[in-house]
Amino acid sequence: MNAPHTQTEGYIGRRMARTEDTRLLTGKGVYVDDVGLPGMLQVAFHRSPIARGRIKTIDLSAAREIPGVYAVLIASDLARYKVDMLSFFLALPTVPVPVLAVDRVTYVGDPIAMVVAQDRYIAEDAAGLIVIEYEEQDPVVTLADAKHGSLVHPRTDSNVAAATGSDEVDEDLEALLAHAPHLVSIDLTHQRIAQSPMEPRGVVAAPQGSGELTVYLSCQGPQLAARWFAQAFGMPATSIRVISKDVGGSFGLKGQPWREEVAVVLAAQLLKRPLKWIEDRLENLTSANQAREQEIRLRVAFDNDGTLLASHADYGINNGAYPQGADSNIAVMMFLWAAHKLPVFGFHARGWYTNTVGLAAYRGPWALESLAREVLLDRAARKLGIDAIELRRRSLITRADQPCTTPMGLQLEDISPAECLDELLRHVDVAAFRVEQAEARKQGRYLGLGVATYIEPTAGSTGIAVLISESAHIRIEPTGKVSAVVSTHSQGHGTQTTMAQVIAERLGVLFEDVTVHEDDSSRGGYGSGAYGSRQAVAGGGACIRAADLLVDKIKLMAAHLLNAKPEEIFLRDSVIHVFGEKEQTVSLRDLADIAYGEPDRLPEGMDAGLEVQYRYRPPPITMTSAAHACIVEVDGDTGFVKIRRWVTSEDCGVMINPAVVEGQIAGGLAQAIGCVLMEEISYDPRGNPTAVTYKDYLLPSISDVPDFEYHHGASAPSKAEGGFRGVGEGGCIIGPPTLVNAIADALSPFGDIPLQLPLTPHKLLEVIEGRSMARPAPTQPKASTPADAPSEKPMSVAEAVVHEPSSALTPVPVVETAGIDGLWKFILSTPMGPQAFTGKLATSGNVVSGSFYFNMDEASFTGTINGNNLKWDLKVTKPMSITLKYDVQIQGDKLVGKVKMGIFGTAKLSGERV
């Protein structure tokens, strides 16, 4: 599998019109709401109007009396089904997630009851007649509330949903920061974002036969959804067929099924009827999982010449009540300084539970790293009196510096942000801009130039079970046409086109002869679909390998039949050519006829048919790099930002279809513009969402987004098959710092801009006019926490500071070491979610030895015993080389402790005797 086997040129790299567009432009797409089945009923949810409280009574009688209502269901009706609501990593959540609310509600929009009716109008009528009495409690809404308020979930130690990094002060690092020639620090907050696909979520669930299900789902990949359902329900994956034809955008929101979709699937099984639920926009903006809402304090020490000396990040992210995997976002820390020469870095990252909608993915979930770093570098440049571009050049890792390994253990081979920056500056005349800027300022006009660089990990294939490999099954039908089933999935990505381009070029067939299917979990092998900017790299690689294997077979077969040598055969435009002594051609159809119909004529030992399946695992990470610049004008009278120019310079490797690549970059940048200037999911102090329509949640329109300029002069092929690199998320990562830096540059005569997104006109006008323009504070003082909340323990003021669980440090009675020996079940809270495994402990004197058992794998260790305290080290090599330091207290048949995971900080361990 090396050089192309064919002489057909030009599909890879060609700006082809998309196959999808013909149906989508003529109204013939099939989105989930376009699916109708005989006997299908419609679902509407009744949702909590309060952010936090106990459910006292539920009265469904009025709802049930409405003609046309088929059923009204609450949690107890679905209780017969055991469902594990899994995280994206297919791990059990730390705090169990109910499908419908049980006894208590945890955010405004929490689904409590579902009405099943003959149409949605009636379902909504009935949902409005459900009467629920609550005992309302004070909600925990913001990150500040989470740190000091009541516990969001009973039976938790604190509101910390997940933590990584060190909560202990690193004296050496602090000394470096304190004594450096320059210390630059920023506090930055990123608002909460609604992913806002134009098609909201939706599902049609249809029970089939005995225990089988067909689920039409608006999702990011039918294979991943089917795997999730199978594991969550404990059903065979073959019993669940997920069909997802056209999807109206996702951007992370539809990465996995969640509460409403699961409730509909369960209710369909219970009622034995096909059910449809289509989320409306109000539900989407108030109840669909959201993203971002982060804060970071980033500190960086510089030498006088701009050399980076050390850095520390303190990070928090609002996880809401039921995140799709409790998260402290390790990727923010992994990539904050991954492209820079920085010798020392430490961090403390925490995700917090609150009484808000749970956290989901959103395009570039770790994007805050680029925003914080690039904004800080610009501030540092102003402080140190060094040009901002020059400051970047001094610290960026160049191609010549690689291969190298970052302090976080990331191996770099071919990142190129420095080279992208050089390329960018060939297209942006900074000196000329500075002249224009100075002239404009004299006229009271404020122009600004912002520059940022970034690297993006794409198509990861290690460490995350659901994101390893992708599958392509290509067959040449007896008709001679080519069908491919690929584990990619498009929510606008155009993979039916790009994968067909790859296959057509590698097979040597006409593009029009290739049909790609990716919409049905029952058709092909597992793959995650659209996740982590992986489709071009992992899906494209799978198509190349499969096509090449098929070409090998075609050559052997044709050579045998035509009495030629395999190397004399090639395919072009779906025709098999023999060159050499007697040139001849055979149609692919004629060859396929023999392959399927007359296998006796094939070479000895060759199987009948013309089909191949290949599962491709790309390199562990394929890096994409970029540098962007934008020029803005901020209106001094209104604070409005007008983007005048935006130039991109990207190393995205070999492009399959430049129009699709540009579409991904542009789409991400438009979302970045929304993040920086206008989008904001907000809550009042009682946890009521205050942006519930598109009149309040502002999305960029055509007049907000400029024409983008694309340059790929710094591109180099990746090491993945085909040389592709991912581009799905980049615009959303590099866009925000580029724009924030431009605005900061424009307003630099007035001082620093606030680093609280979005940078609305009123915030910028405050900088320009040097005075507060805040509206009077809302007159809704929060009552103190009621003392009579029965099943939860509100913290007293004295206890209000949240501590890490300290059980491992609490003195406990000495136990006999004989009580240690035996089999144990452990749960380790890793950055990927809780990981469960069993292990054996044995003692001899003050030495403990043991083994952990994973799936057909085993790791052994020895350590020391001191009373009931055990300590041991365990070296692991996956997903990276690291020594795990265990510190465990035995308490009878239970154990608790912590595990130091090097730079990744400390993880909680619990265990019980088997």
Name the residues that contact another protein, by CB under 8 A: 17-18, 20-22, 24-31, 33-34, 121, 196-200, 246-249, 251, 280-281, 490-494, 659-660, 662-663, 666-671, 693-695, 699, 701-703, 705, 707-708, 731
Angle between helices 730-746 and 658-677 (to 10 degrees): 50
DSSP 466-488: TSS-EEEEEEE-TTS-EEEEES-
State how far the Cα of 106 lies from the Cα of 161, in Å rounded to an integer: 15
Q: Would you say 248 or 448 has its CB closer to another protein? A: 248
State how far the Cα of 325 lies from the Cα of 637, in Å rounded to an integer: 45
Please, what is the minimum distance in Å from the beta carbon of residue 733 to another protein?
A: 15
Q: Would you say 198 or 798 has its CB closer to another protein? A: 198
Q: Would you say 673 or 896 has its CB closer to another protein? A: 673
Q: Taking Cα atoms as reference points, which of 315, 455, 313, 298 lies closest to residue 392?
A: 455
Q: Taking Cα atoms as reference points, which of 896, 893, 913, 908 lies closest to residue 815?
A: 893
Q: Would you say 253 or 557 has its CB closer to another protein? A: 253
Handedness of CA 253, 257, 258, 264 (dihedral sign): positive
Length in residues, the chain = 914
Half-sphere exposure (Cβ direction) of 729: Cα atoms closer than 13 Å: 28
- 176 by DSSP, 3-state: which? helix
Q: Taking Cα atoms as reference points, which of 818, 867, 823 lies closest to residue 844?
A: 818
Please, what is the minimum distance in Å from the beta carbon of residue 669 to another protein?
A: 6
Please, what is the minimum distance in Å from the beta carbon of residue 86 to another protein?
A: 26
Q: Would you say 136 or 709 has its CB closer to another protein? A: 709
Please, what is the minimum distance in Å from the beta carbon of residue 67 to another protein?
A: 9
Q: Would you say 248 or 351 has its CB closer to another protein? A: 248
State how far the Cα of 418 lies from the Cα of 430, in Å rounded to an integer: 17
State how far the Cα of 79 lies from the Cα of 99, in Å rounded to an integer: 9
Q: Would you say 200 or 863 has its CB closer to another protein? A: 200
Please, what is the minimum distance in Å from the beta carbon of residue 497 to another protein?
A: 10
CA 381 to chain centre: 32
Please, what is the minimum distance in Å from the beta carbon of residue 70 to another protein?
A: 18
Please, what is the minimum distance in Å from the beta carbon of residue 200 to another protein?
A: 8
Decide if 319 contacts 358 (C-beta within 8 A).
yes
Q: Name residue, tokens 């679909």.
A: 529
Q: Would you say 405 or 701 has its CB closer to another protein? A: 701
Please, what is the minimum distance in Å from the beta carbon of residue 659 to another protein?
A: 4
Residue 420's contacts (CB-CB under 8 Å, 6 or more residues apart) are 453, 625, 626, 627, 649, 650, 651, 714
Strand partners, 271: none
Q: Would you say 693 or 851 has its CB closer to another protein? A: 693
- 38 by DSSP, 3-state: which? coil
State how far the Cα of 909 lies from the Cα of 827, in Å rounded to an integer: 6
DSSP state of 550: H
Q: What share of residues in the chain are helix, strand, coil (percent, to 5)?
A: 30, 30, 40
Q: Would you say 24 or 606 has its CB closer to another protein? A: 24
Q: Taking Cα atoms as reference points, which of 813, 27, 98, 716 lies closest to residue 415?
A: 716
Decide if 885 contacts 801 (C-beta within 8 A).
no
Please, what is the minimum distance in Å from the beta carbon of residue 668 to another protein?
A: 8
Please, what is the minimum distance in Å from the beta carbon of residue 519 to another protein?
A: 14
Please, what is the minimum distance in Å from the beta carbon of residue 673 to another protein?
A: 8
Q: Would you say 248 or 508 has its CB closer to another protein? A: 248
Q: Which two tokens stand for residue 230?
A: 């199978």
Q: Would you say 668 or 723 has its CB closer to another protein? A: 668
Please, what is the minimum distance in Å from the beta carbon of residue 69 to another protein?
A: 14
Please, what is the minimum distance in Å from the beta carbon of residue 25 to another protein?
A: 4
Q: Would you say 54 or 281 has its CB closer to another protein? A: 281
Q: Would you say 732 or 896 has its CB closer to another protein? A: 732
Q: Taking Cα atoms as reference points, which of 642, 511, 645 lies closest to residue 573?
A: 511
Decide if 487 contacts 518 (C-beta within 8 A).
yes
State how far the Cα of 876 lies from the Cα of 211, in Å rounded to an integer: 41
Please, what is the minimum distance in Å from the beta carbon of residue 469 to another protein?
A: 26
Vertex 240: Cα angle to 235 and 244 (nearest 5): 145
Q: Would you say 225 or 673 has its CB closer to another protein? A: 673
Please, what is the minimum distance in Å from the beta carbon of residue 491 to another protein?
A: 5
Please, what is the minimum distance in Å from the beta carbon of residue 529 to another protein?
A: 14
Q: Name residue, tokens 């004529």.
A: 601
State how far the Cα of 467 lies from the Cα of 56, in Å rounded to an integer: 43
SS3 for 42-56 is EEEEEECCCCCEEEE
Q: Which two tokens stand for residue 821?
A: 């020996």
Vertex 877: Cα angle to 872 and 880 (nearest 5): 110
Q: Would you say 82 or 695 has its CB closer to another protein? A: 695
Decide if 191 contacts 293 (C-beta within 8 A).
yes
Decide if 267 contacts 71 (C-beta within 8 A).
yes
Q: Name residue, tokens 């309302």.
A: 136
Q: Would you say 256 or 671 has its CB closer to another protein? A: 671
Q: Is 501 exposed, middle or buried (0-12, 13-18, 19+ CB in 10 A)?
A: buried
Please, what is the minimum distance in Å from the beta carbon of residue 671 to another protein?
A: 7
State how far the Cα of 311 lies from the Cα of 301, in Å rounded to an integer: 6
Decide if 485 contacts 472 (C-beta within 8 A).
yes
Vertex 500: Cα angle to 495 and 504 (nearest 5): 160
Q: Would you say 137 or 218 has its CB closer to another protein? A: 218
Please, what is the minimum distance in Å from the beta carbon of residue 530 to another protein?
A: 11
